[in-house]
Amino acid sequence: MKTKKSTYTRELSADEVKEHRIMVTKEALGFFPKPFRKFSLRVGPGEQETAVEAVECHCMGVAQPHEHYWLPVKPEASGHPWERGKRVTIRKVEKGYAFEIA
Domains of the chain, with CATH numbers? 2-101 (2.40.330.10)
Q: What is the pTM of this model?
A: 0.83
Q: What is the pLDDT of residues 3-36, one digit of tens each?
A: 568 899 999 999 999 999 999 998 999 999 999 9
For residue 53, the cross-strand partners are 70
Mean pLDDT along residues 74-82? 75
How confident is the model over 25-69, as pLDDT tens digits? 989 999 999 999 999 999 888 889 999 999 888 777 788 888 899
- Nearest in space to 77 (alpha carbons), one of 97, 96, 53, 101: 101
